[in-house]
Structure 1
Amino acid sequence: MKGIILLFCFIFTYNTFAQTSEKEDKDAIQAVLKAQRIAWSKHDMEGYMEGYWKSDSLMFYGANGITQGWENTLIRYEKAYPTEAHTGKLSFKINDITKISDDAYFVLGEYHIKREVGNADGIFMLVFKRINGAWKIVADTSC
């Protein structure tokens, strides 16, 4: 009987920690998105790019096709949003964060940019991966 009680205690404890871990992961991913939103709204493109994996393997897929690599993605953003009037104020609506594996999630959402040159709205899907203990975007599909 003691064995069965201990087994139930172990299972309950394991499930509690597993749920907490997933919640902590989602909170950490939300924190990355918040930091990006703040950096974008200050026209700080390099700060915004801190949320991305600094690798040649980073993939961005948008209306103009695929951009590969962190540096190329930064150049793309700087070209498309050259001034504060273009970056404006960014907000996100996160519709779903789903676990893919222990170290990966995908995020579905909407972006809204209020700006002088005309507002911009769209949707995105991001793939986040935990790399060296930090959550980074490894793939971004935005349109």
Structure 2
Amino acid sequence: MKTFLSLAILVMGISCSTPTTRTEDIIEIKKVFKMQEKAWSNHDLEGFMEGYLKSDSIAYFGSAGVTYGWARMLHHYKTSYPTKAETGTLTFVLKDIHEIAKDAYWVMGTYHLARLSGDAQGKFMVIFKRIDGKWKIVADSSC
């Protein structure tokens, strides 16, 4: 029994340290987008921001120029989308996901906001990095 238990622990240790595949990475990245769609559509802007690295180094490039920092991005969203009517329902369409380095991908796609006040849509490109085992957006450019 001790031999079986030792072997089981060894196998578990090896499988837990096995690098993920590109397919697994893409599945996990897509989960971040699904979580963001749900949070945004529920006017949970803090939840939406969980997809981003919580750091002053994060960069967002949009119509107002470059914004640095997680807290500043959240403030921008809260100011620009103060109510559920402004956030509406968010849908992403991912067009391409490409590995650019170990533990880093860029994602290009479109977004659509369905709102009573008028729909909005645009294009984006984000850079994801795996940090502490979790995929986080470290740069975002939307137009």
Normalised-by-shorter TM-score class: 0.7 to 0.9
2:74 is paired with a residue whose SS is helix
Tell me which residue corresponds to 2:134. 134
Q: Distance in 1 between matches of 2:110 and 2:70?
A: 22
Q: Distance in 2 between matches of 1:84 and 1:117?
A: 11
Q: CA deviation at 1:103?
A: 0.6
Residues 64-83 of structure 1: pairs in structure 2 closer than 5 A: 64-83=64-83
Q: Spell out the pairing of 1:55-134 with structure 2 (5 A cutoff).
A: 55-134=55-134
- In the alignment, which residue of structure 2 is the partner of 1:12? none
Distance 1:36 1:92 in 2: 9
> Normalising by structure 2, what TM-score?
0.86
Structure 2: where are the runs of 5+ without partners? 1-17
SS of alignment partner, residue 125 of structure 2:
strand
Residue-pair matches, total: 126
Gaps of 5+ in 1: 1-16
User: Partners in 2 of 1:122 and 1:73 — Cα distance?
Assistant: 18
How many Å separate the matches in 1 of 2:52 and 2:63?
19
Q: Secondary structure at the match of 1:60?
A: strand
Q: CA deviation at 1:102?
A: 1.4
TM-score (norm 1): 0.86
